[in-house]
Structure 1
């Protein structure tokens, strides 16, 4: 399968897009594939078909929102069509936004009140503003390698003693108030609290790093965050934009890992493939948002009726049709198969993920033995012989062979009809539309490509 040549439709579309769009794309990661991105014509179940008619088994799945795949079930499609037919939007409340809020609150224990917004970036920005307004403090702690959207409070990199903006256009003063620490490093977290505890409004983290390979939490890490926040009067903000209603099923990752956040941010799946975001948490905190409190949050498209309908029907379908058992079982099969392939052909690489998320990290060191190692991807088991080599932080992932993934591995997999996220850092997803036959063909492609290294 060849799509990247100067006669292809994708090449021509990208060449034209470069004259009209910045970098030819509307999100930076889409420009990663070399020499040009694939332009999609349409989706079919677990597959996408590009503008040249090439078909790929898709594990990007819109970067997470497409839990059900590209072909929506009739009930979801009908609900969306009815919402569009009734009128695109109103700027006035509708019953469907209340129903979706009720569904989320009924299934996520930490959430008593909800505010819908339009993206994960909006959700985390509002949650941080709420934490600062509620506590009267300015500093926040984020994780190195974590991702919470494209707003000034989180576009900061570095460490406790040396940090700065990660993008031009972000004032240095934001870096003064935002402190990155390594994920899974409880001692680094304690050091920040010992120095700035009375000034810290919140700790912001994902349940697992989902935009830096995939790094699962070590045992007790989230408990350490909870304890320190309680001790110093700070809030614990859990970013479930990626993991919400994907990891842990309807209870989300916080239920799976027994995490007790004060605030949670959602997006992706709760919109059923349409733009969405949400902030949820305890009533006493959430009531600080306007109009009941003094922390401003508002938006013309908040609670958009088409998005609300798509999200509600998607979640109801997932609940009624045992979607999570299907996608999680396929995820286990895929990761288990990758572990076997890696043992034979690339023992230095690390299989990561959980439930319906997966990734092969191009780490650089092999364990002395594979006896007793995690069988379906790294779960940060201290008794696993690979434990000391498995990435614990974002920096560990970025130290891998990231160029090999982008320049040689990704194109080789695409050539075999398997579409993965185009760099080492983005997560990959299994959908309800994937089948065991898809998994088998995907594993054959992984083995074919990795065996060429020998």
Structure 2
């Protein structure tokens, strides 16, 4: 493979874009990232004409890969041709909200915004306004966008901003506990229960190696927030309409949060975010309530058309069944490879998500292990060694994953997410052949 065009484009980009990119994770690939020219079904072609099986898929917004179904494409073109946007309400945003409210268990009303970050910012504001409290509980290793409340590091109540430019006063209102640690969840409410506005949690730790909840964890959070009149906020920006199909992860796990944040798939590949919940909470947003929330591009008609028609098509064509079947094939195949070649590593994921985490110290035996990805099953012999928190994932061989394994997979024609933490996504455009080729590449790269 040659990469001269990508190198030259990166050189140009360094002169006009900070770090040569518009989102930091894109620069994680060294010495420079491939520049993509176009997508084709489940593949991407870079600026030098190299073709890769694409498991990044825009980091999650693509349900159909790079091959948009004809009804979705027609809806996008129709709304784009009628004018880009109006700053006025349109019917399509009402239809989209009605569709989501019919399918997601906890949602009666929505407020569409423009990114997952904007959604989580607005959800935290609403939780604070509703409860009259300031503190937000987050999970260490969880990611909720580039916002001041959640860009923190540290433990428990000893948190500090994880980026310059954020006042310490923001971090002082954020309490960070380990994901899957029920004891820590009880402790934080014992210590700060009357100050906690809400718990903001991904149903699956989806931006840190794909860590599923241990049995009963979300039920514990649900009980604690109910007991202390706090709000449980599910961040389904990544899992929404991917894990659990149209009911999202909350439907899969049988938990109804008070608020849900959405992004990625709800916009059909276009910039989007949303907050959903019961009317008693959502109507506290302006103009029906006093909690300010507004945006020029919110409910953008082209995005609404793309999102609605994308989800409608999925409902009518068994899209999620196809995706979940391929995901199962990938994870089962990876488990067989890892058992033979790298038994200390852990296959993670569920439904249309997968990842191989370079964990350390797991037993060599795979007898009675979780099949199809770590499910946090207590009677699994590897249970005490599989990652349960963000720290567990970070303790893996992250440099080996990025510096040795990722380049080898690229050389094999397989494009994975840029680091060990980001999820990888199966789409409707992927095929059995893509899965088989990818598994062969894993064999070579490991």
Aligned mate of 1:148, from 127, 144, 151: 144
Note the C-alpha offset of 1:366. Answer: 2.5
In structure 2, what is the Cα distance between the partners aligned to 1:337 and 1:209? 23
Matched, 1:99 2:95: yes
In structure 2, what is the Cα distance between the partners aligned to 1:129 and 1:34? 38
Corresponding residue for 1:173? 169
> CA 1:118 to 1:352, structure 2 compared with 1: closer, same or farther past 3 Å?
same
In structure 2, what is the Cα distance between the partners aligned to 1:159 and 1:231? 24
Corresponding residue for 2:287? 291
Q: CA RMSD in A?
A: 0.7
Corresponding residue for 1:67? 63
1:232-251 counterparts in 2 under 5 A? 232-251=228-247
The Cα offsets for residues 265-290 of structure 1, whole Å up to 9 and x where unpaired, read as 00000100000000000110001000
Corresponding residue for 2:425? 429
In structure 1, what is the Cα distance between the partners aligned to 2:102 and 2:157? 42
Corresponding residue for 1:114? 110
Corresponding residue for 1:401? 397
In structure 1, what is the Cα distance between the partners aligned to 2:185 and 2:371? 31
SS in 2 for 1:254: helix
Corresponding residue for 1:202? 198
In structure 2, what is the Cα distance between the partners aligned to 1:434 and 1:348? 28
In structure 2, what is the Cα distance between the partners aligned to 1:135 and 1:268? 29
Residues 79 and 313, structure 1, Cα contact 8 Å, conserved in 2: yes
Note the C-alpha offset of 1:369. Answer: 1.9
Corresponding residue for 2:40? 44
SS in 1 for 2:172: helix
TM, length-normalised to structure 2: 0.99
Residues 157 and 176, structure 2, Cα contact 8 Å, conserved in 1: no
Corresponding residue for 2:300? 304
The Cα offsets for residues 14-39 of structure 1, whole Å up to 9 and x where unpaired, read as 00000000000000000011111000
Q: Unaligned 5+ residue runs, structure 2?
A: none
TM, length-normalised to structure 1: 0.98
Matched, 1:158 2:154: yes
Note the C-alpha offset of 1:107. Answer: 0.1
Note the C-alpha offset of 1:161. Answer: 4.0
Note the C-alpha offset of 1:162. Answer: 2.0
Residues 343 and 365, structure 2, Cα contact 8 Å, conserved in 1: no
In structure 2, what is the Cα distance between the partners aligned to 1:152 and 1:388? 34
In structure 1, what is the Cα distance between the partners aligned to 2:138 and 2:2? 41
Corresponding residue for 1:252? 248
Residues 368 and 385, structure 1, Cα contact 8 Å, conserved in 2: no
Corresponding residue for 2:444? 448
Note the C-alpha offset of 1:449. Answer: 1.0
Note the C-alpha offset of 1:2. Answer: 4.1
SS in 1 for 2:336: helix
Which deviates more, 405-414 or 151-160? 151-160
**4+ long deviations beyond 3 Å:** none
The Cα offsets for residues 391-425 of structure 1, whole Å up to 9 and x where unpaired, read as 00000000000000110100000011000001011
- How many residues are matched? 446
